Structure 1
Amino acid sequence: MSSVPFHYVDLRTFCYATEDDKRVEDALRTFLPAEYPIERAESEGHYGDRIVVLSARVENADDVRHVLSQVATLSDIDAVRSELGDRVDDNCSFFLTFDKQAAFGGEVRRGDGITLRAKVEAYPAKREKAVANARAVLDEL
């Protein structure tokens, strides 16, 4: 994969009051290069409970390749390829969610808990072009 047709990749997860911050951060790090900075933002739930939002934006091409190499380990990557039309929006963003508990164990599996949003390069910025570019990358994985 010589060129990467993504402007950036955002990864985000929430750490609820009943979860251990370090474990949730470790789950997010499953997708990131070593020692990659993670931003923390504290918020409050409806009943006053603490929620920590952990996020990272990956913009460097080598780091984006690292994230994509983790996505490539999905056992159902073919299903992701077939769903691309539903996973790319009109703003040329590609969305995928991962199982937070599995990620804590070092496994990459689709599910809920960790959200990946990748801004796909598309000139002109049309959804169809973005789908084609995302498909080209996933076909190389």
Structure 2
Amino acid sequence: MPEVPFHYVDLRAFCYVTEDDKRVEDALRTFLPEEFEVERAESEGYHGDRIVVLSARVENADDVRHVLSKVAELPDVEGLLDELDDRVDDNCSLFLRLDKQSAYRGRVELGEGITLRAKVEAYPAKKEAAVENAREALAGLV
């Protein structure tokens, strides 16, 4: 198996008062290995409404590979590879927004609702090196 040059992957989704917590957690779990722990934090919206923040940090190399292999299922993964320069910041973090509704149905699409942040390994820690490492890793999973 190819090495995955990522320190960790963070996934986060907000569950608003109009949504079912279990369904939002199921959507987030689309990207996680089985039995992975999802953290829950209660918050309050501007108008006093309840918001549950669901999140998970994946650090083990095999688990990171699992999450990235899910991302590689994107219908337009080639388009994603072309956009990596815009999606990796100066701190070597890759950012994606994934569609919560599609994820609940077991499909992987870019959209709204789930935020993915992956810290890319790059030595030296330069954006250009991080973009290239992310490109090679994702292309290797396609």
Question: How does the TM-score come out when normalised to structure 1?
Answer: 0.98
How far did residue 69 of structure 1 move? 1.0
Residue aligned with 1:28, SS = helix
Identical aligned residues as a percent: 74
- d(CA) in 2 for partners of 1:106 and 1:132? 29
2: distance between equivalents of 1:132 and 1:106?
29
CA-to-aligned-CA distance 1:11-54 (integer Å, 9 cap, x gap): 00000000000000000000000010000010000000000000
Runs of 4+ aligned structure 1 residues displaced above 3 Å come to none
Q: How many residues align?
A: 141
- Residues 1:14 and 2:14 aligned together: yes
Identify the residue that residue 113 of structure 2 maps to in structure 1.
113
Once residues 20 and 139 of structure 2 are traced to their aligned partners in structure 1, the CA distance between those partners, rounded to angstroms, is 36
Cα RMSD, aligned residues only: 0.6
Aligned to 1:78: 78
Give TM-score scaled by structure 2 length. 0.98
C-alpha contact (below 8 Å) 2:2/2:140 kept by paired residues:
no
Contiguous gaps of at least 5 residues in structure 1? none
Q: Which amino acid is 1:121 matched to?
A: E
- Stretches of structure 2 that go unaligned for 5 or more consecutive residues are none
In the TM superposition, residue 2 of structure 1 has moved relative to its aligned partner by 2.0
- Tell me how far 1:3 sits from its aligned partner: 0.8
SS of equivalent residue, structure 1 residue 43? strand
